Structure 1
Amino acid sequence: MFERIAELAIRRSRSVLVVAALAVALMGVVGAGAFSKLVEGGNDDPHSPSTKAAQVIEDKFGGETNLVLLVRPRGRVDSPAAERAGRALAADLRKDRHLDNVISYWEAGSSALRSEDGREAMVLAHVKGGDTERGKNAKAVIDAYTGSYEGGLSVRAGGGAAVGNDLAAQVPKDLLLAEAVAVPLTLVLLLVVFGSVVAALLPLVIGLVAIAGTFAELALLGAVTDVSIFATNLTTALGLGLGIDYALLMISRFREQLRTGADVPDAVRVTVRTAGRTVAFSAATVAVALAALLVFPQYFLRSFAYAGVGVVLIAAVGTLFVMPALLAVLGHRVDKGRLPWAGEGRDSGGTPFWGRLAGTVMRRPALTALPVLAVLLLAASPLLGIGFGTPDERVLPENAESRQVAAALREDFDGNDDAAVHVVVDRAVERAPLMAYATELSRLDGVVRVEASTGTYVDGRPGPAAPGGAALGRPDAQRINVVGGLTPKSAAAERLVADVRGVTPPAGARPLVGGSDAELVDSKKSIGGRLPLAVALVAVSTFLLLFLFTGSVLQPLRALVLNAISLGAALGVMTWIFQDGHLASLLGFTPQPMETAMTVLMFCIAFGLSMDYEVFVTSRIKELHDRGESTGSAVVQGLGHTGRIVSAAACLLAVSFFAFGTAQVSFMQMFGLGSGLAVLIDAVAVRGVLLPAAMRLLGRRAWYAPGFLRGLHGRFGLSEGGPADAPAAAKAVAGTPRGRNSAGV
């Protein structure tokens, strides 16, 4: 296959480039419409009780409260002027086609809707529509009614719809800033790595192909299914990073061949047969890791699988077809624009530092590897206290209006209606059993009041009528609001959800419990329940791919163990920072439990990228081993050849991720910093130290496979040189000694 690709690039190079240019143009046109088709939200399991509760409330009660307008008049809220202006505002809101279930303090008269100092009052409402439509409707309402309003009112927006609106406004700004930081730094680093202008620009071509193609894919998918708008973040970061990684490997091998005296066609052939094969396997491992996200029901996570798998495969296809054609056309001109600091022999052989480091590690594996292992395990130790949550207003900067409103609701009002637990019974319920059920709910720890169609209940006793209480009952359904005084999405709030679900309902009733805290409980249960399957799929599929790549059963196991160590270290550091609050003042975020979906996403991405560099290094080691080098010599020479490439690729990719550290949305910061750190830990500590130490300890057994698996690999494995090299490959897989090197392997 790779030979045919190389011949196509050599004989039809200009035709390939013309077709590629037309394809990129077409993908750009299609992808330009992606943003209009992508949606917000998607963190909830559509089959969970909380989602079903929300749907029943939507269908029969006009929807849950998701918008809180905090209104401050010039004087006190009970003054005649404030009441007239407040009633006028509520009347205008009821006429708004974007809203349902408008409840105003001035009409309901409930003290729960008035601040303790009497200076502010609430107007509650439900913004209509699904995830996409709701976001547009919320923006229209917030733009129309917030700020200074008629009658001397000052209006601020809070609640879930307002948080979503603020996120939708902030994320594109963060993305634009991240790209403004990453692209110039990446270009500078490419110039440093390649030492010539032409070679440095080539990886950006592959990055452009990957990003344009993936945006086109997302636009097409967005027309037929829900795709999260946050998938664009992964597309740009991973598209640029992987495009550069793969192109870097190809260009380095091509220039290395030219330095040995090979002509351009032969250099292209060797490059595609060796580096191209590595790119194909590398892309497969990364795609497999990201495809595991498809097992989760939340379309937020599934969207990252769509984007991730797409960008990886498109980057690989672009590298395999476009890059060889470019190299064939450019030939020796790939070094055009050589910079003053670039030496002539930059790609002619191994890098002394990485080769010397590997040799030192293999001579003294315990002395060199144990300190590194100890540091990584220490970095992973915060995982022992990790907790999980879902995004709320605290992921936004402190000056975000929705976050300020949420703080005011917690501090200045009796109970938080926006964070209430919603109980809905999708059938008729007699008055007496309903009263008894609501009374029992009001006795639970942390409950301020319970609102039902039969009245309000406080500490097991009836209280004043609930605002809009009549609207809580239907002939075929009942809704109960359990208003608590607990911090939303805290451990206590989660326990309250469990307690509410544990109360015995009226006979024959099967209540559904919803609200933001119930959504958190259900989301953690949903993701946690499917996480073992996702991890198993990643591990098994990665093992099979690496076996087909190396012909060994120990190499995949060694890779999985080392990847687990590096991932644990990166996730531990992120827990130490974002959950425990270290560096919070520097980065400008509020500490809170690790965001569940984003942590799973970071795991899959970091795992895939770790395997990316695993394939880069192992490919060259296996190539040398198959030529007759001992395991020790193959490791030293292999790292000598690939160490610089892997470290440079890791730095370039890390820049793309670290740029998200400039974001003002905290889970984007965590994703960017965590992914970038995982890449660097893997490229430096694992590939530079732990890999050669593990290979030294395995010795000749590193290439072991049982006889029947060796036969399987000989039949289905993809060897670098094709069928002609099969005997040598099989001999290498069997672990036949090749001699001994200075490390004694």
Structure 2
Amino acid sequence: MFSALGSALHRRRVAVLLLALLVTALATVYGGTVSEKLTNSLSDYDDPGGGNVAAREIIGRASGIDPQQGYLLLVETDEPVAAGDPAPAAVTAAAELLRSRPEVEQVVDYTSDGGSALVATDGSSTLVVGNVGAMTDQESRKAEELLQQAIKDDPDLRGRTWLGGATPGHVQVGQVSDEDLTRAELLSLPVILVLLFLVFRGLVAALVPLLGGIVSLLLSMAGLRVATDFMNVSAGAMSLAFALGLGLSIDFGLLIVSRYRDELAAHGPGAQALRRTVATAGRTVLFSALTVAAALAALTAFPHPYLRSMGLAGVITVVSAALFALLGLPAFLAVLGARINSLAPRRWQRTAGSAQSTEGRWHGVARTVMRRPAVFALLATAVLLAIASPLAGVRFVGVDATSLPQEISAGRVAAVVDRDYDAQSASPLQIVLDTGAAPDSARLTDYAERVADVDGVEAVGAPVELDDRHWQIDAVLTDNPLDDPAMDAVEAVQDVTAPYPARFAGATADFLAQRGSIADSLPLAGGILALVTLLLLFAFSGSVVLPLKALLMNLLSTGAAFGFLVWVFQDGNLGFAAQSGLEATTPVLVFAIAFGLSTDYNVFLLSRIKEARAEGMGDREAVAHGLARTGSIVTSAAVLFCVPVGALALSRLVFIQELGLGAAFAVLVDATVVRALLVPSLMALLGKANWWAPSPLRALHRALRLDRMEPPATAPTPTPPPSPSAPATDTATDTATDTATDTATDTAKTPTA
């Protein structure tokens, strides 16, 4: 199948490239409007079926106020103020500014009934609250911009008033995130270019994956634009599409170009080289793409629009990168031919010595590990478990304005409120009771009093009728809404027996609902991920042992990444300030990305091992050969992927830092400890058992003609021995792959990326 595809791409290379250019142009035009269609609202993080969402909808219908949104104006006063004092000019101006906004339904300041908690403990500042109706993302961004400008233009407010609250906070989190992502991309691009030149050993070859990254990103934008017509797609999807598209294009490009150079040296430019490349590396790319897509598709099992958007963006990006690698890139290589090695230093064009030296070192590593496989397997497992051990104390938190730096207005407001105000009256716990048509006021009052007795509850308001079936009780919490004491208090309130069915809303209740919904969806997402990965790896290898072993190794590497995140961010190491916990969605995203890429690298290695076994090598020799041929490719791909992702650690937002550092660490651990130590040691321990499958499954594998997808095996062709840097006992030789009809050739000049 793949050989036929390679032949067809060579024959129709110009037509394929013109078609690819046309599709890319159309995708550019259509996908260019995707940013206008993306969402960036707090509801992206909600389970639409959660009780907190239902509570907010009831409050919104009854009052016209969206409990999830709102403004806080922090006003610093010249003289200390106290409850009962007349409002200074700045406070009056702040209240009038909010009343002038069409979306504001209610304005509350310290002169309002029950507004005494809106004055700082030292009287140096006060809060003016603006409760708003439902707003779209575009309306929120525009309103935040206009309010900031109005504050600058008003002499009573300028220099003493700062805009914060839920709506500006979320808008500014998005703005800072976009700015930091752009900066990370700009900082990492020169590094990537240099590394690509060094890894691909030539300018033309180095530009190929960048071309693939651009094409895959444009195709991904068009795919996401289509998706916006059917569902809400979060703005974070574009950031993932950029990082993942570039990373996978580098991975796939490195694999395809390296193999094409091998075949080019063996057969010269022409159909044979391209056919062999697509038949071997192309098959690997297909299964690699399917496994990465499966890992990211598991995110769609979560009901939250944000996670579903990230999963959808991941699948679209993987498909886009794979399409270029399997169709556009081979046609491009057919046109280039030997010119793929152009614009390289003359010494690098004679790559045989350096390639064999690199392969010899990896070959030597594999042989050393396989001489004492049990020792190295236990050592690698112990190291990974030790790194993962901090995971036992992991805690999770949400994202709000407190995550912003204090030079951002909403971040400053959140920090001052947390430091200088006794009660979090601007973010109360909202309890909505379904009382029916005839509520008992005494039972409502008794319930409110019992809620007030809960530790961590500062005050409780009187029950308020929302409509003929619902009443609302507000409970002001003592601590910041996303701090552990506040969450403990809300959980305790939820345990208080209510006289009527109760739903809970507010910042704390929303986060608890989000965390609970993620936990409830994890078994389904994990089951989908495990099942699809097992099926794909069985289809690729014909074994049931290798897929199970891959799952185990992926769990070890991702567990190590999570433990590393807890140690760095929650415990405060490597120069990062200690946090109260990890952002709740970060582990899910890191797991999906790291799991997919770990399986991706595993497929790279297994493909070469399978080829070596088919050519007649013994099990251990095949493993050493596979690691020798893929060791530098996998390591280079991992490093190149980690540069743009790891640059996210420079972000000003902790949850972005967690995502970047976690994904980069997981990929590096997998490409080094797992691939260099754990894989060869376990392969050696299990021997032929690695390839075992029950007879019915072997028959199914043959019946589905999955074995026909593999290139025909050839007799191994001897190559020069490894470089002197390899151990003296390392006598295994590399093998040049070829078709059954090809004559054996000297591969001493075989170039690699």
Residues 1:497 and 2:473 aligned together: no
Residue 326 of structure 1 corresponds to 332
Q: Distance in 1 between matches of 2:335 and 2:673?
A: 38
Q: Structure 2 CA distance, aligned partners of 1:131 and 1:582?
A: 39
Tell me: CA distance 1:717–1:291, structure 2 relative to 1, closer, same or farther (3 Å): farther
Map 1:28-47 → 2, pairs under 5 A: 28-40=28-40, 41=42, 42-47=44-49
What is the Cα-based RMSD across aligned positions, in Å? Answer: 2.4
- Quick one: structure 1 residues 278 and 370, their matched pair in 2 at CA, closer, same or farther if it must change by over 3 Å? same
Name which of 673, 690, 695 aligns with 1:685: 673
CA distance in 1, matches of 2:382, 2:620: 24
Using the TM superposition, give the Cα deviation of residue 12 of structure 1 relative to its aligned residue in structure 2, in angstroms.
1.2
Partner residue of 2:27? 27
Structure 1 CA distance for aligned equivalents of residues 90 and 349 of structure 2: 76
5 Å matches for 1:524-603?
Answer: 524-583=515-574, 586-587=575-576, 591-603=579-591
Please report how far the alpha carbon of residue 630 of structure 1 lies from its aligned counterpart in structure 2 after TM superposition.
1.1
**What displacement does 1:322 show?**
0.5
Shift of 1:73: 3.0
1:73 alignment partner AA = T
Alignment of 1:569-648 (within 5 A): 569-583=560-574, 586-587=575-576, 591-648=579-636
Matched, 1:95 2:100: yes
Match of 1:407 in 2: 415
Render the CA deviation track for 1:173-225: whole Å, top value 9, x for unaligned.
Answer: 11111111222211111110111111111111111111111111112212331
Seen in structure 2, the aligned counterparts of structure 1 residues 109 and 294 have a Cα distance that, compared at 3 Å, is closer
CA positional deviation for 1:344? 1.4
The reply on whether 1:63 has 2:54 as its aligned counterpart is no
Matched, 1:49 2:51: yes
Q: What is the deviation of 1:131?
A: 5.2
Question: Are 1:9 and 2:19 an aligned pair?
Answer: no
Could you tell me which residue of structure 1 aligns to residue 288 of structure 2?
282
1:173 aligns with 2:179: yes
Cα distance change, pair 343–352 in 1 and its aligned pair in 2 (3 A): farther
Q: Superposition pairs for residues 697-708 of structure 1, below 5 Å?
A: 697-708=685-696
Alignment pair present for 1:383 and 2:383: no
- The answer on whether the counterparts of 2:170 and 2:400 sit within 8 Å (CA) in structure 1 is no
Which stretch shifts more, 92-101 or 31-40? 92-101
**Which amino acid counterpart does residue 111 of structure 1 have in structure 2?**
S
Looking at structure 1, the residues matched to 372 and 95 of structure 2 have their Cα atoms a distance apart, in angstroms, of 76
In structure 1, the residue corresponding to 2:45 is in which secondary structure? coil
Q: Give the match for residue 395 of structure 1.
A: 403
Residues 175/720 of structure 1: CA separation in 2 closer, same or farther (3 Å cut): farther
1:155 aligned onto 2:146: no
Residue 107 in 1 paired to residue 112 in 2?
Answer: yes
Instruction: Evaluate the alpha carbon distance shift between residue 365 and residue 161 of structure 1 in structure 2; reply closer, same or farther with a 3 A threshold.
Output: same
Number of residue pairs matched by the alignment: 709
Aligned to 1:368: 376
TM-score (norm 1): 0.91
User: Which residue of 636, 642, 655 maps to 2:643?
Assistant: 655
User: Residue 239 of structure 1: which of 241, 245, 253 is its match?
Assistant: 245
Residue 477 (structure 1) aligns with: 470
How has the CA–CA distance of structure 1 residues 500 and 332 changed in structure 2, closer, same or farther, with 3 Å as cutoff? same
- Please give the per-residue CA displacement for 1:118-141, whole angstroms capped at 9, x wherever unaligned: 222211122333552453254245
The answer to whether structure 1 residue 206 and structure 2 residue 212 are counterparts is yes
> After alignment, is 571-580 or 365-374 more displaced?
365-374
Once the two structures are TM-superposed, the CA of residue 285 in structure 1 deviates from its matched residue by: 0.3
What per-residue deviation string (whole Å, max 9, x for no partner) do you get for residues 558-581 of structure 1? 111111111111111011111111
Give structure 2 stretches of 5+ with no counterpart. Answer: 717-729, 733-753
Superimposed CA distance per residue, residues 572-598 of structure 1 (whole angstroms, 9 cap, x where no aligned partner): 101111111112xx35x5513111112
User: Using the alignment, how far apart are the partners of 1:426 and 1:406 within structure 2?
Assistant: 33
Q: Which moved more, 1:679-688 or 1:350-359?
A: 350-359
Match of residue 460 from structure 2: 450
Provide the C-alpha distance between the structure 2 equivalents of 1:399 and 1:679, rounded to a whole number of angstroms.
Answer: 34
2:249 and 2:325 in contact (8 A); partners too: yes
Give the percent of matched residue pairs that are identical in Structure 1 and Structure 2.
38
**1:183-222 aligned within 5 A:** 183-222=189-228
Structure 1: tracts of 5 or more residues without a match: 455-471, 729-740
2:51 counterpart letter in structure 1: P
Letter of the aligned partner of 2:227 in structure 1? L
Cα distance, 1:473–1:303 mapped onto 2, change above 3 Å: closer
Change (3 A) 1:135 1:152: closer
* Cα contact 1:63–1:101 (8 A) shared by 2: no
Matches of 2:175 and 2:441, distance apart in 1:
46
Match of 1:735 in 2: none
- Would the aligned equivalents of 2:148 and 2:163 in 1 still touch at CA under 8 Å? no
Q: Mean Cα displacement is larger for which, 710-719 or 519-528?
A: 710-719
Q: Work out whether residues 56 and 426 of structure 1, in 8 Å CA contact, stay in contact via their aligned partners in 2.
A: no
Q: 1:673, CA displacement in angstroms?
A: 0.9
The Cα shift of 1:634 comes to 0.6
Q: Distance in 2 between matches of 1:530 and 1:549?
A: 29
Change (3 A) 1:485 1:544: same
Alignment partner, residue 352 of structure 1: 360
Q: What letter matches 2:171 in structure 1?
A: N
Q: Which moved more, 1:243-252 or 1:492-501?
A: 492-501
**Which SS does the other structure have where 1:68 is aligned?**
strand
My pick for the range that moved more, 705-714 or 399-408, is: 399-408
- Asked if the contact 1:661–1:669 (Cα under 8 Å) also holds between the matched residues in 2, the reply is yes
Residues 475 and 104 (structure 1 numbering): CA distance in 2 closer, same or farther, change over 3 Å? farther
> Which amino acid is 1:578 matched to?
F
CA distance in 2, matches of 1:246, 1:718: 22
Which position in structure 2 is the counterpart of 1:737? Answer: none
User: Aligned equivalents of 1:2 and 1:292: distance in 2?
Assistant: 28
Q: Spell out the pairing of 1:240-255 with structure 2 (5 A cutoff).
A: 240-255=246-261
Q: Do the aligned partners of residues 395 and 421 (structure 1) sit closer, same or farther apart at CA in structure 2, a change above 3 Å counting? A: same
Give the 3 Å change call, closer, same or farther, for CA 121–295 of structure 1 in structure 2. same
Q: Does the 8 A contact of 1:72 with 1:120 survive in 2?
A: yes
Match of 2:726 in 1: none
CA deviations over 1:415-439 (Å, ceiling 9, x no partner): 1023321112345545433322222
Q: Which amino acid counterpart does residue 597 of structure 1 have in structure 2?
A: T
Residue type of the partner of 2:112? E
Residues 396, 664 of structure 1: 8 Å contact kept: yes
Distance 1:146 1:51, change over 3 A: farther
- Amino acid in structure 2 at the alignment position of 1:575: V
| Paired amino acid for 1:256 | D
* SS of alignment partner, residue 348 of structure 2: coil
Per-residue displacement from partner, 1:433-455 (whole Å, max 9, x unpaired)? 3322222211111111112357x
SS in 1 for 2:344: coil
1:444/1:81 Cα in 2 relative to 1: closer, same or farther (>3 Å)?
closer
User: What are the equivalent positions in structure 2 for 1:667-682 lying under 5 Å apart?
Assistant: 667-682=655-670
SS in structure 1 at match of 2:3? helix
Counterpart of 1:487 in structure 2 is 480
Deviates more, 1:42-51 or 1:254-263: 254-263
TM-score, scaled to structure 2? 0.90
Describe the superposition over 1:18-42 as per-residue Cα deviations: whole angstroms up to 9, x where unpaired.
1111211221122221111111131
